[in-house]
Amino acid sequence: MTTTSPTLPFDLRIAKTALAAKDERLARLIEETVEFQIEMESMDSPYEALTESIAYQSISGKAAATIFARIKALGTNGRPPTPQEMLKLRPQKLRKAGLSGAKVRAMKDLAQKTINGVVPSMEQAQKMSDEELVERLVSVRGIGAWTVEMFLIFRLGRPDVLPIHDLGVKKGWSVTYGKKRMPKPKELLAFGERWRPYRTLASWYMWRAFERAGYKATNKIAKAVARRKKTKPQSKIKNRKKARPSSAASKAR
């Protein structure tokens, strides 16, 4: 597997100008904060990138790095085991490396779907749309939309990705637009239409707004609360039932 020097597949100057023209508050954020930059990680295959993502799920970065190093030690040349090697590895060996049973099953499924062609090569992935990649990759056990979105942003440098479930993006939005609550995913998705076709850039600046505000301020931002349907008080319902004449009484009238 060869690696190349990754470069952004879009013109940053044009993207910033377009966003600033559409959104005054975002324009101010772009001007006041650091220059947009994504240090796109090495162009590993989607299989390798997702193997690493699975290893890092739900644990601290330091612990995940240790476990992933052990996984790579099971392969050759400092890389994770190939899909074929992964399928041959006994689950107990992967568990000994520090993976949970669920992560072992996820890595095995990832390997099988790579062999079957569901998970594309990097060359194939670069030619596929965001939607097609999401559809394919979320079919892998243990891989959700957020993991694929991070792959699209930090591995492929796609310009129009909006992680609507990402906590940093949601809280950054609240800070930028002066809200005391986080947006619901559908609300953020609708709001983000103004950022097309550079929603990745806007998301990146939402992360910067979140970082700049600091945890002390952002911890005060409330979660979005779903509206509850109004229900009639039980006492009134019971009273109405009592007041309703029985069928027998109705017939007697």
Active site residues: 166
Residue ranges of the alpha helices (H) in the chain? Answer: 12-22, 24-32, 46-56, 61-73, 83-88, 91-96, 101-115, 122-127, 130-137, 145-154, 167-176, 185-191, 199-213, 215-218, 234-243, 247-252
CA distance 59 to 55: 9
In eight-state DSSP terms, residue 98 is T
* Residues in CB range of 192: below 8 A, 6 or more apart: 162, 164, 199, 202
- 157 CB neighbour count, 10 Å cutoff: 17
Distance (Å) of CA 2 to CA 71, 123, 242: 20, 11, 78
Structure tokens given for 172:
């950054």
Q: Which residue has the tokens 């799920």?
A: 57
Residue 178 backbone dihedrals phi, psi, to 5 degrees:
65, 40
* Residues in CB range of 121: below 8 A, 6 or more apart: 45, 46
